[in-house]
A and B are shown apart, each in its own frame.
Chain A
Amino acid sequence: MTISLTPETQHSVSLQPQGWLRYLSFSTDHKVIGLQYLICGFIFYLIGGALAGAIRTELLTPISDFLPRETYNEVLTLHGTVMIFLWIVPVVNGGFGNYLIPFYVGARDMAFPRLNAVAFWLIPPAGLLLISSYFIASAAQSGWTAYPPLSITTPATGQIIWILSVLLLGGSSIFGGINFIATILKLRRPGLKLMQLPMYCWAMLGTSILVVLSTPVLAGTLVLLSFDIIAHTGFFNPSLGGNAVVYQHLFWFYSHPAVYIMVLPAFGLVSEILPVHSRKPLFGYTTMVYSIMGIVVLGLIVWAHHMFTSGTPPWMRLFFTIATSFIAVPTGIKFFNWLATMWGGRIALNTAMLFSCGFIVNFVFGGITGVALAQVPFDIHVHDTYFVVGHFHYIVYGGTVFVIFASIYHWYPKVTGRLLNEPLGKLHFLLTFIGFNLCFAPQHWLGLNGMPRRVAEYDPQFTLVNQLSSLGALLMALSTLPFLVNVVISAFRGELAGDNPWRALTPEWLTSSPPPVENWKGEAPLVHEPYGYGMQPEELALAGATGSELWRLGDPDRRP
């Protein structure tokens, strides 16, 4: 009592802005931070998308005409860096992680709220720094991979700013990862077992382990690279006796796990969305958990598949081929589990579900091209071509970005208490899905037939296909419009959702929407079965009409 009356506390309270201004403050509320990540990330998505627009405009014609050649390289470097480090990674980790994880573990906040705020507030300055480098000097020109010796010989200012900003973002990511690990392992509500956590917790645990183990290596590497640029040491500079391939090893030791840092949380989010809208339990919870951990372990030992043409020794190529291919096994388990979750359900064909299914389709495509790329002889032909560009956009966009959209449609009512407009949502999905496939599917053909990546000019025989691809990009850009309109209008006019519009069972829905400051008015609910949907077969009167004979094999003893 006395505490809240002391002038100091009153002072600190009045310093914390209320209302929307909270979102511009150093708030330590995990829900505020989560939304800060989301909105900040989305702004950078628009910037990254505009840069992609510049790329696709340049590539409308086979000659370099729209942008100067240096600028093209700056644009593609910024595009890759912004999309990865300022959009995908912060949003699927920081954004949804901060919003959801405390709910899922039954906590009122993250383990280290202040560290959490620090982690977020590293991002906007880092992003601004990165973008501003384009205006103050010239931005980095060596791609998001920044391979030396190119990165040592291109204009130094831009490259150094790029390094600084990536270091800040890496720091943010590490702080976030530590926080997630501590929250998931240490802040669980008493009585809640690890194997009862919603799947997204497991995904974030795996992701955070990868973040903590691999991001520091990138940081160290970039520090060495900056020495090469500023102090003229020769770590990675062959003309000074250094070794450029060592940089590649170190870089990919981070950046391969980084691709799972971008996709594991998305896997987790889909695992939350699918059961709710299919009205069935998540299929194969235990194998899901093991496959996440399997991906984490395998993810750490496959990095050199990005270096099959870098003159690595044959045994190394062989090892990395096999290890990489095997990632298809745990990933496949997850996909089949999702399909089984949907099978025999009562599937609501709403936007969240459509984007989730779009994700499965796109990701399987990207995953299959990934397994092809993992085969050394195959990769030797298509490495550094548009085939690879196609592969990873199918995964990062068709996979993760689709999941981000699905999640926004799914959790918007949680955050605002209002539903998003469904017809607009479906329009958004349709435009995105068509535009996306039109943009990136033809790129596989381009790569196979001889178009390298990172070029501003190309063989005229590829003009038509490139124009198709650019048309797809235009559709994707247009698809953003209905989405933005929807999100803004629905915040004020949207249909009231009630606390739990989806009749979901995960803990975040067992409180009001939007949730109160400390998540629950009373004690946090203890949710032993976050996926306890579905009727027992006996209750199911029309079992024969809906369930399929195939699934009848499941033995009922496995049910808890």
Chain B
Amino acid sequence: MTTLTSSSTSVSEQQHEAHADHRMFGLATFLVADGMTFAGFFAAYLTFRAVNPLPSGSSYELELVLPTINTLLLLVSSFTFHRAGSALKRDNRPLARRWLLVTAALGFAFLAGQMVEYFSLPFGLTDNLFASTFYAITGFHGLHVTLGGLMILIVWWQCRSGGRVSSQNLFPLEAAELYWHFVDGIWVVLYGILYLL
């Protein structure tokens, strides 16, 4: 095997990987998988609810105000992310960056709200089955929001003039956006199941 052929391998690999379609497709498939993790958690929670009575004397009461505000924050952030995307497509990088910052800020505000909620709740992780499930599911979702927030900041950095992300290379932004919408969508379901039901 000559050096020449193997160097041509790496070039064509880059060509494969540069194919944005496939990466978005791969990401979407991954999100289906990720969604199944949540589906498993939700199914567990619903079964617990149907079968296991709350032990007497323990409390499992959720406040609705803060989570509702949080839901709104996330919904708005999906919208602002979309604005960032269209700004970038129009090659308006500064505007895109501003919208990205707003989105990240909304995301972190959500996380802060979540923290406040955690500390104000009358039960802890191991108090009872529902408390544990509540923390596990919201915590797992919070992890996703944190990750998404960091991704947004990275994209924000890459959007600076001379950065990697531009209207020519939309993939990082679009990937982060798809992920973010996914995380929002999961939250809406979560809100419905954990808080409203």
Interface, chain A (partner B; CB < 8 A):
3-4, 9-10, 12-13, 16, 18, 28-29, 108-109, 111-115, 174, 177-179, 181-182, 185-187, 212-217, 219-221, 223-224, 227, 231-235, 240-243, 246, 249-250, 253, 516-518
Contact = CB atoms under 8 A, between A and B. Distances in A.
B16 A113 contact: yes
Most buried by A among B1, B6, B39: B6
B26 A182 contact: yes
Contact of A109 (B16, B25, B29): B16
Interface residues of B, number: 46
Interface string B1-23: 10111111111110011000111
Contacts of B132: 227, 233-235
Given A233-B126, A243-B51, A178 B33 contact: yes
A517 B9 contact: yes
A111 B12 contact: no
A113 B37 contact: no
Interface stretch (B42-50, B76-84, B98-106, B172-180): B42-50
The DSSP consensus for interface residues of chain B is helix
Contacts of A114: 13, 17
B34 A216 contact: yes
Contacts of A108: 12, 16
A252 to B, nearest CB: 12
A241 B60 CA distance: 14
A243 B36 contact: no
Contacts of A186: 21-22, 25
Contacts, number: 142
Nearest to B39: A217
29 contacts: A13-B6, A29-B9, A111-B16, A112-B17, A113-B13, A113-B17, A178-B30, A182-B26, A185-B25, A186-B25, A212-B33, A213-B33, A216-B37, A217-B40, A219-B37, A220-B41, A233-B126, A234-B128, A234-B132, A235-B132, A235-B133, A243-B48, A243-B51, A249-B47, A250-B40, A253-B40, A516-B5, A517-B5, A518-B5
Residue among B1, B26, B33, B34 with the most chain A CB within 10 A?
Answer: B33
A198 to B, nearest CB: 21
Nearest to B129: A241
A250 B9 CA distance: 42
A113 B12 CA distance: 11
Contacts of A221: 40, 44
A13 B7 contact: yes
B36 A216 contact: yes
